[in-house]
Amino acid sequence: MRTCIPGHPPTVYRAPVGTEAGFVLAVGMAMAFAFTNGLHDAANAIATLVATRAARPLPAALMASVFNMLGPLLIGAAVANTVGSIVQVPPDEMVIVVGAGLTGAFAWNVYTWLRGLPASSTHALVGGLMGAAIVDAGLDAVAWGPFNAAGQLAGVFGILLGLILAVVLGLGVALLLERLTLRGLEHATSRVGGVIRRAQWFTSAGLAFSHGSNDAMKTVGIVAAMLVATGRAADLSAPLWLVVASAAMVTLGTSLGGWPIVRTVGRRIFPLRSIDALVSQSTSAGVIIAGTIVGAPISTSQVVSSSIVGIGFGRRRWGHLGWGIVRDIGLAWVTTMPAAALIAALSLPIWRLIGR
């Protein structure tokens, strides 16, 4: 943001936003959130690949790491803009509010990872930011949406609408594609099994790419908002170093696997065969990339989990679905936003001490 004084050249305005240490710590918390995001959702990207024994865990994790890194470098700026516009507080409060919001999201991600539940990192981030902003400055401190002036999804309600649509599409498209695929392979020979297993590598890579393009850019968007508030940037356009750093942290989380979630997604929702995994990966990658293009932050865990439920419906084997784990996942989805909001609100006084 620039201001002109008569007789002087334009200067860059730097908002008084507290200590340098507070800003650095908030950026560090953003990177920690990106790491847990990768730990969570990368597991979703490789879960079906590993569960159907089409790949060993280590090569699958390495492959996902590479494509997670490529995703945010090629597409995803619209998602960063959506996330970066959620919090609307004065510049001198931005680092404090974002730091507290990221604390809530990070803490909830760690808790659900330890429980092996594929909860939504997007829900956690939105809930954390919302809780911190409301406690700090009231309801007007949050962009509620659901649309902006250009008619695009925006704000909390816009993000929630995108998340709901993604779940519905994940379930519906997987159900339809599963039935069409089974019908098309009705008279196929056993040779098709090897082709399907090899194809899983490509669809899993596509899913990892889509995850990186969407999820890494959430971190980029929120750090970009702090850069603008502190006068370090003029707008939400993300510098290359920020995109690379966020992608690297998501990739690091990816490389460590998140194996409790792999077991939940790959084996406990529905007993998958190779063709089922192929359908789930294809559906999930397509839905997430579509969301990235329109700027909708999508939850990889929700899309993958709902696509696996859709496969169970597509096979008409409702009794084989792990309804207990589906219930636990659904409960985690419902509680993620309020839980992250509560943790963020409780951590706000600590961030006030840090950021002043």
| Full pLDDT tens readout for the chain, 356 residues | 333 333 434 434 444 444 688 899 999 999 999 999 887 766 667 777 887 888 887 888 788 888 888 888 887 677 888 888 899 999 889 999 999 999 999 999 999 888 877 778 888 999 999 999 999 999 999 999 898 887 778 899 999 999 999 999 999 999 999 999 999 988 877 788 888 988 999 998 999 899 888 888 889 999 999 999 888 888 777 788 998 898 889 878 877 756 666 667 766 788 888 899 899 999 999 999 999 988 888 888 889 889 999 999 998 887 888 888 888 888 888 899 999 999 999 999 999 988 76
Cis peptide before 146 (omega within 30 of 0): yes
Tokens of 169: 């599409």
Q: Residue 338 and residue 341: Cα distance in Å, rounded?
A: 5
Domain total for the chain?
1
In a domain, 14, yes or no: no
Q: Exposed, middle or buried by CB within 10 Å (0-12, 13-18, 19+), for 16?
A: exposed
Structural contact between residues 119 and 172, judged by C-beta atoms closer than 8 angstroms: no
Do the beta carbons of residue 108 and residue 340 sit within 8 Å?
Answer: yes
- H-run or E-run covering 11: strand 11-12
Dist. CA 308–CA 209, nearest whole Å: 19
What is the structure's pLDDT at 19?
Answer: 63
2 falls within a domain? no
pLDDT for the residue 335: 93
Domain that holds residue 209: 20-355
Rounded distance between C-alpha atoms, residue 76 and residue 248, angstroms: 15
Question: How many Å apart are CA 210 and CA 145, to the nearest integer?
Answer: 25
Spatial neighbors of 331 by CB under 8 A, at least 6 apart, are none
The SS3 call for residue 181 is helix
Is residue 50 within 8 A of residue 231, CB to CB? The reply is: no
> Looking up tokens 């911190």, which residue turns up?
132
In a domain, 30, yes or no: yes
Residue 315's nearest CA partner among 270, 278, 347 is 270
Residue 169 lies in a domain: yes
| 152-32-162 Cα angle (round to 5) | 20
Q: Is the dihedral of CA 126, 127, 129, 135 positive or negative?
A: positive
pLDDT of residue 251: 79
Per-residue burial over 272-291, b if 16 or more Cβ lie within 10 Å, else e, is bbbbbbbbbbbbbbbbbbeb
Query: Do 288 and 68 meet the contact criterion of CB atoms below 8 Å apart?
Result: no
Residue 217: inside a domain: yes
Query: Is position 9 within any domain?
Result: no
Classify residue 236: in a domain, yes or no: yes
Residue 322, both tokens: 């792990």
76: tokens are: 């995803």
Q: What is the pLDDT of residue 258?
A: 62
Exposure class string for 97-125: b at 16+ Cβ within 10 A, else e: bbbbbbbbbbbbbebbbeebbbbbbbbbb
206, part of any domain = yes
Tokens 């490389």 locate to 255
